[in-house]
Structures are given as C-alpha cells and as structure tokens.
Amino acid sequence: MAASPAPFSLSASTVPARLRAAAVAPLAAGPRWRGRMVVRAKIREIFMPALSSTMTEGKIVSWNTAEGDRVSKGDGVVVVESDKADMDVETFHDGIVAAILVPEGGVAPVGAPIALLAESEEEVAAAVAKAQELAGGGQQQAPPPSADAAATPPPPPPAAEAPVAAPAPVAAGTKGIATPEAKKLAKQHRVDLTKVTGTGRYGRITPADVEAAAGIQPKPKVTPAAAAPPPAAAPAVGTVPKAAELPPVPGATVVPFTTMQAAVSKNMVESLAVPAFRVGYPILTDKLDALYEKVKPKGVTMTVLLAKAAAMALAQHPVVNASCRDGKSFTYNSNINIAVAVAIDGGLITPVLQDADKLDIYLLSQNWKDLVKKARAKQLQPNEYNSGTFTLSNLGMFGVDRFDAILPPGQGAIMAVGASKPTVVTDKDGFFSVKSKMQVNVTADHRIVYGADLAAFLQTFAKIIEDPESLTL
C-alpha cells in the first residue's frame, strides 16, 4: 500500500479486515512502527527571504517572538537587515515557534531556514529534534576509535612504484620501422636502414639514428633568447577585475563591512564592467536660487527641484533614461523614476521619487520627506530603493564644486551636482557680470548613450534650470 502524508482513517469499506488488524496495532503503539501508513507531524520552516534583487544573505536584527510562542499567519516574527533596509518578516502559517535556528546578530543566506514552526504542541519535540539535526549538519559523527584500533599503528604508505624502463632498442636488421623523415634522410645519405638500430619508441628508427649512422654530427641546440611576454589581452567588457588583497597594516583595526556596505562595495565593483564616459556642463542658477527662496517655506528642497528638472529633461531624451541589462539590447523605461543618493549611518542608499515627471514639486517634496525618514530608520520597501531609472547625487550643500559619480548597475546615467558659486561671466556683448554658476557632471553607459545624446540632454536640463518657471506648473 502506497504511503500517504495526509491523515487517513481505517474503515471496513477502505481496508480489508486482514490488513486492518495488522495496521491498527502499530498505530496505537505510537509513530515508530514499520508499516507504510504514517501520520507525519507538520513542521514548517521559516526561511530567510530575499528582500531585494541584490540580496544574497540577511542578518537577524531582532526576533519579535520567542521559542514556545504561538503565532498566526501574517504576524511579524523577525526583523531582518537586508543590503538596503531593515524589514519585518511575516509568517505564512499558524503554529508554535518551536526552535530558532539563527539568533539575533546571526547571518544566513537567502533561502536558508532560520526557525521551525510546529503546528501543535505535539510536534514541538519533533521540531526541536529536527533543529538539533540541522545544527549538526544532518550528519552523524563518526564513533571514536576503539582502544585496539588506537594502539594499532597506521599502515605504512605504499612504496613508490619503480620507474618503467624505456623499451630496449630493437636489434639491427629490422627493416621498415622508420619514420618518414628518417627514410628520406636515409635515401639522401645512402644509409641502409637494415643496419641501423632504432632508438625511438618501440625501436622505431628516427632521423637522429640515420644521421648518426651516416656520421653526421647533430646540430647543437641553440637556446632561443628569452622572448618578451605577449601583451596581456584587454579584459572583455563585462568582466570585473579582482581586487588585490593587501596585507594588513601593523597596528590597524580591521572592521568588517556591514550588510549594506558589502552591497555597496559589490555594486561599485560591478560598475567597473560598464564602459562609462563623463560629460560636464556649467549652468547659471540665479533664477533657480530665487525660485528656491520662494518655495522653501512650503517644504520644497533644492534636491526636489533638481530631480524635477532632470525628470522633465529625461522626458524629452528617453535614451538617457534607458538601460542596458544584457549587453545586447536597449531597455526603454516607461516610467521616469529619479533615485537620489542619501548618506545614512553605515552606508549609502538611493530612495526613489517615482514618476517624478508627472508630480508637482509640492507632492514630490512630501514624498521625498517620507522617503528620507524611512531611509534613516532603514524601513524602505524594496520598490522604494531599487526602481530608479536615473540617479541624482548632490554634494553642493557641502561646498563641493564638482565631482564624478559612479554609474549604478542597471541604469544608463547618473548626475553629479556641485555647489552654486558666484562666478564672473561675460554676455554676448562682452560685458562682465557676476552670476551664480554650478557644475553638473553626468556619467553614462556608452553602450546606449552617446556623446551627442548626453550633450543634448544637458542642454535641455540647463534651459530648465536657467528658466525654472516650468518647474512650478
């Protein structure tokens, strides 16, 4: 009778009397019996979830429950630190937390079990036993050697095999076992092959044997001059050079990466495989500064104004909002989502202003305020930090006049904005004046964005910044 994991009942209509009598007794005696019909305990695993597309492992920040607590479907049982944020992980089943496999502060790969959930109190003991089995790797340890075995010396290592002697040369008089080159030489020098002893494999006559029989001195082997090593091949696009591991500095303190810092490091190294180029553009900001002073009391930040201007320019130049994900094609994004780099304690994250071209600056400001608050608390949802199609990095508030940003993987361009500073400029008539000017540098993926595309985008962006009334529409 085939085994069935689901509960079943024994009745005269389903099981013959002869088998019914044989099966009921073992069931009454307990679960450890040799029959095939077994009622298995329901023990479920709580797995480490993938909270983002780049997450490979997660760290347990805190457990909201303890062993022995009863939980219901949808309850948040644990807080996990991903590579971007801390998130509550819910359970998909009702049950009792029988065993916690990964304690607070522990790290587990995505998909690994972090706790066991028992359906009822009867299954708790079985779940605890399973947890011990998982902790031991699921393998039984080998028994310790007995005293007799310990006293027995280990067998000596096998003796090295004697080298196989080379086959002895065949005696003279064997005709016809010569290489084609040897036959050619023998004909040229009138050598009788029947009188030549071959020294080649299986007594084969070689050209050297013929030359020796003809009395010709072998040519000395000239050692070739050490040739210059061939030039190293250029790494193919898509390959990432491995960073050299440098020895530690004496007296230095080594601090391992946090989960977020490790993710940032991985993304930055991956960006080296993208053929990127950079274009800078100076922009006058007097009118933008005046607009900012008007809308600042209403909660609008300079970051939002720049993001809105970039989104409006991207709407006119969709190729800059595109991306290359497979190295073979363009991906034109239907939405314009501006990711903005934000430094937080222990890392860097890029909250995303979604549909920035369609929302006014006041709604964008409210959204941005909420995103920054959640980012500082590490409570961003995955779609709030991994859905960007274009990135903006602004260091102008720190007085940085210009810098280059590293292109994030999966995006076509990133804009680096410097500080606006008073600068002496000349107009078309040659008159001097002092105006505020900022430097904007854009790093782009040259597989999809060309120099002319980026220059046209920057011209449009500069027109919006220098005449910013359209930002308030």
Q: Which residues are catalytic?
A: 446
Phi, psi angle pair for 98, to nearest 5°: -85, -35
Q: What whole-number distance in Å separates Cα of residue 104 and Cα of residue 59?
A: 8
**273, burial (CB in 10 Å: exposed 0-12, middle 13-18, buried 19+):** middle
Spatial neighbors of 163 by CB under 8 A, at least 6 apart, are none
Rounded to a whole number of angstroms, the distance between the first and last alpha carbons of the chain is: 75
Q: What whole-number distance in Å separates Cα of residue 360 and Cα of residue 348?
A: 27
| DSSP letter for each residue of 79-93 | EEE-SS-EEEEE-SS
Strand partners, 88: 79
Phi, psi angle pair for 389, to nearest 5°: -110, -10
Q: What whole-number distance in Å separates Cα of residue 41 and Cα of residue 28?
A: 16
167-200 CB burial, b ≥16 within 10 A, e <16 = eebbeeebeeebbeebbebbeeeebebeebebbb
Phi, psi angle pair for 130, to nearest 5°: -65, -35
Phi, psi angle pair for 17, to nearest 5°: -60, -35
